[in-house]
Amino acid sequence: MAKAFSVASWNVKHFKGDPARVGRVVPFLKQQNPDVFALYEVTGKIVFDDMVGMFPGYTFQITEGPETQEILLGVRNTLTAFITQRIEFKSGTTHMRPGLLSTITVAGAHYSLLFLHLASSTEPRGMGLRDDMLYRAVKFRNVLDKAAGGKHKANYLFLGDLNTMGMAYPYDKDIDAKTELRKWDTRASQYYEMRRLEKSHEKTWGGGSTSSFAPANLDHVYAAKHLVFKQFKNASNDNVDIDVRGWVNEPNISDQDTWIANYSDHSLLYFEVQKV
């Protein structure tokens, strides 16, 4: 099958106008050569201006609101894209980031990508916000299906830093991250014909050797089951849909620490959607 477009999704952790860091991040992102890319935790107008200048040939959109860490979306000018900010994914709270919905048109087919950066917390309120946002995201397929002319017709994906870290609660009532993910995998599959795409590395976040937290599985892509993706290989030589690129590829903890310090504690997710 032929490629429709490629996507890079990356939380660049407090990405603001530090020229040295911008000078490292931008070349790494350019190496991926994505047709569409989303950066999370972009801070301020300065980075927006830098990215526009350093990525000629792309159209940009950034979320707007009282929060300081925004989502920046870039789309190659050779693609037709309609981009809207979706405030319903703030879950009714003023401090949360809205989602960015980009509808890409390739060879007459529409592909809807919803980019999200969800609540980061193991507190009950944090998981509650995340749970509500994920419910809205998966249920949004109903809206897109209606526009596409029938149930499960929409070429829909939602993705980003979903922060699936579970919940800490006293009296042995914790909910671990795998249980949180299992809930959404089940709901997405049974009711909305969507699946979470497999990655070359499960853990995408890492705090390095000095962190008190273990590497975590926070960044994800959910997609309509009928969509097909270019295949990559994981460490077991199995086929997967997403290639994770970043600190996970470094050979030892020292090199991982260096990569995290220079770029981000999140690795980048890269995938290619095939034409329907």
What is the per-residue DSSP string for 216-249? B--EEEEEETT--B--EE-TTS-EESBEEESGGG
Give the pairing type, strands 58-62 and 36-43: unpaired
Q: What b-and-e string marks burial along 33-70, b requiring 16 or more CB atoms within 10 Å of the CB?
A: ebbbbbbbbbbeeebbebbeeebeebeebbbeeebebb
Strand partners, 62: 72
Strand, coil or helix: what is 5?
strand
The neighbour count for residue 135, using CB atoms within 10 Å, is: 13
Largest CA distance in the chain: 55
CA angle 271, 21, 69 (to 5 degrees): 70
List beta partners, residue 266. 205
User: What confidence score (pLDDT) does residue 250 get?
Assistant: 98
Looking up tokens 């050779």, which residue turns up? 78
Residues in the chain: 276
Q: Other CB atoms closer than 10 Å to residue 110's CB: what's the count?
A: 17
Q: Output the pLDDT for position 30.
A: 95
Residue 17 pLDDT: 73
Per-residue model confidence as pLDDT tens digits over 33-80:
999 999 999 986 678 788 888 999 999 998 876 666 789 999 999 999
- pLDDT value of position 66: 60
Using one digit for the tens of pLDDT, what is the confidence trace for 243-269?
Answer: 999 999 999 999 999 999 999 999 999
SS3 23: helix
3-state SS class at 109: strand
Write the CATH number of the domain with boundaries 3-274: 3.60.10.10
Output the pLDDT for position 78.
Answer: 96
pLDDT at 89: 61
CA dihedral 42, 45, 47, 53 (to 10 degrees): 140
| For residues 225-231, average pLDDT | 98
- Cβ-Cβ contacts under 8 Å for 33 (sequence gap 6 or more): 6
Candidates 51, 2, 61; CA nearest to 30 is 51
Q: Quote the pLDDT of residue 94.
A: 47
Give the pLDDT mean for 105-112.
Answer: 97
| pTM of the predicted protein model | 0.94
Q: What's the pLDDT band for 98 if we cut at 50, 70, 90?
A: confident
Task: Compute the mean pLDDT over every residue in the chain, rounded to the nearest whole number.
Answer: 92
User: In the prediction, which pLDDT does 65 show?
Assistant: 66
